[in-house]
Amino acid sequence: MKKTIQYISLLLLFIVTINLAKAQNKPSYRLPHFEKVQLPNGLMLYLMEKHDVPVISLYAIVPAGAVHDGNKAGLASLTGSCLKCGTKSFTKKEIEQQFDFLGASLYTYGSNDDAGLGTRFAKKDEAKILSMIKELLVNPVFPDEEFNKEKKLTLTGLDQAKESPASVIDAYWNKFYYRDNVYGNVVSGTVTSVTPLTAEDARDFYKKFYNPAGSAIAVVGDFKISEMKATLTKLFSEWKKIIPASKVAFQQVNTPTSARVLLVNKDDAMETTFYIGSPGITRNNPDYLAADVVNTFFGGKFTSWMNNELRIKTGLTYGAFSYFDYNQHAGTFIISTHTANATTQATIDKAIEVINRLHTQPIDEETLASAKNYMIGMSPPEYQSTNQLAGLLIRMFWYGFDESYINNFEANVNAVTVAKANEVIAKYFPKDKLQFVLIGKASEIKPIAEKYGAVTEAEIKDDIGAKKNVNK
């Protein structure tokens, strides 16, 4: 095992070294030219030509996420999934057959803030695919039979997810941290909330929240911008603008005032899966990049402080990492790992030790330079394919940052000083009032959980967010 770990470490170091060498021998990456167009109905178009391969990628994003679920948890997710269940012009079977025949990909979704779809297809099939994408976004009908099939799959998935703590810990974390805020809504829903949902609920949700105003479509690939603009304008101008629903996502998040622990019992668990977290930042925060630099050496790469202490030095876990988990209007900071029941306390204590080290050990130039070089060396390859570029454009729209983040990336990373690093550490990284979500065998780990804050208990077999499970 130790030899395997050493081999993986050396391999990752080699990859990073090669990327750094490449980065030093080529100009700084700049985002290719693209154009933004707003249609009269409010829909934004992001268009970028890329002619090296005859393919096109398209992402669409709509302000129709779970923040609008109300007391019908899982409705936004089901509505998003069922966009492809049938339209005015195509049945679900026809949609699936057409995409399969053309070798094109398609997925639809509903998430925390947003809903939408993604597709990738050959240039020669542009007219056929775009006409179907328009149908999916503008004319879905949510047939009862197909909706009920999708709901059945969802219910089966909710039951199966309880067998894997890693599959449900995000939902537990969001519900525990955000509590009654809309970001605490359980995106996938629960068995209790999903069971009574009907196709009529989805139709009503669509009518209320699938609005071209506040939505965007990003297209990258082998086309001429002028021609794609004309095509999409013709297709989507008939998408009628609606009176927007209230912006519930702007609700104030009440940050925790004391350390708290949610202990989720899974009787047959052989290990503890846990998050340690605190308030975070949004993606458009001016300090986002500097915070990302700090997190790179703290818990964002294989050789980070967190992974080095919890995995490489002590062998307490197979891996530990940290990240900023952001929504459109709120965010958290999360440290994530898992460990054997017997080493739960040692692992948590070691993680807290690393947190304390971040606030007590002066950050030196060498540590900062290593993180900056890593980020610069690894970043450019992210934006090479049509999928990656279309995804970037849609995130730029949704999270409110522009191309300067990419075009000035290397310069801005290098501009992060030790003083700035210490500033963002004090401002955005956890120190006290830590929040914990632990999923494991409660009979063994409850005495441990009680050491870290007031404990609220839950059973993994119960619905996430049941009243008895949430600390008010």
Domain C-terminal end among 215, 232, 249: 249
pTM for the model stands at: 0.90
Q: Give the model's pLDDT for residue 384.
A: 87
Q: How far apart are CA 307 and CA 320, in angstroms?
A: 5
Residue 17 within a domain: no
pLDDT digits (tens, 9 = 90+) for 343-380: 999 999 999 999 999 999 989 999 999 999 999 988 76
Q: Is residue 26 part of a domain?
A: no
336 and 386 in a single domain? The answer is yes
Residues 292 and 399 occupy one common structural domain? yes
303 belongs to a structural domain: yes
Q: Give pLDDT, residue 336.
A: 98
CATH number of the domain where residue 191 is located: 3.30.830.10
Does residue 69 sit in helix, strand or coil?
Answer: coil
20 lies in a domain?
no
29 lies in some domain: no
348 within a domain of the structure (yes/no)? yes
Residue 200: inside a domain: yes
CB 115 within 8 A of CB 79: yes
Judge contact between 168 and 159, C-beta under 8 A. no
Number of residues written out for the chain: 472
Q: What is the mean pLDDT of each run of 10 residues along the chain (472 residues)?
A: 39 47 60 96 97 97 95 97 97 97 97 97 98 98 98 96 96 95 95 98 96 96 98 96 66 88 97 97 94 97 96 96 94 97 97 97 93 88 88 96 92 96 96 97 97 97 71 40
CA–CA separation, 306 and 55 (whole Å) = 41
Q: Are residue 207 and residue 267 in the same domain, yes or no?
A: no
Are 292 and 370 in a shared domain?
yes
Same domain, 295 and 170: no
pLDDT score for 467: 52
273 and 341, same domain (yes or no):
yes
Number of domains in the chain: 2
> 208 with 74, same domain?
yes
188/69 Cα distance (integer angstroms):
11
Strand order in the sheet with 271-279: 321-326, 331-340, 271-279, 435-440, 260-265, 454-459
Compute the distance between CA of residue 276 and CA of residue 323 in angstroms, rounded to an integer. 11
Q: Given 207, 230, 249, which residue is the final one in a domain?
A: 249
| Distance between CA atoms of residues 61 and 80, nearest Å | 11
Position 395 in a domain: yes
> What element of type H or E holds 454?
strand 454-459
In terms of domains, do 242 and 104 share one? yes
Selection from 239, 126, 237, 149 nearest residue 197 by Cα: 149
243 and 260 in a single domain? The answer is no
| Residue ending a domain, choose from 232, 249, 266 | 249
d(CA 90, CA 101): 15
Quote the pLDDT of residue 266: 97
Domain that holds residue 113: 35-249
Encode pLDDT of 82-120 as tens digits: 999 999 999 999 999 999 999 999 999 999 999 999 999
CA distances from 182 to 109, 186, 215, 330 (A): 18, 9, 20, 10
Angle separating helix axes 442-449 and 344-360, nearest 10 degrees: 30
With CA atoms as reference, report the closest residue to 219 among 84, 120, 113. 120
The DSSP secondary structure of 106-168, one letter per residue, reads EEEEE-SS-EEEEEEEEGGGHHHHHHHHHHHHH-B---HHHHHHHHHHHHHHHHHHTT-HHHH
For the four alpha carbons of 417, 305, 359 and 472, in that order, the dihedral sign comes to positive
Same domain, 294 and 420: yes
CB of 83 within 8 A of CB of 156?
no
230 three-state secondary structure: helix
Helices (H), 327-385: 344-360, 365-378
Same-domain pairing of 373 and 237: no
**Could you tell me if 228 and 260 lie in one domain?**
no
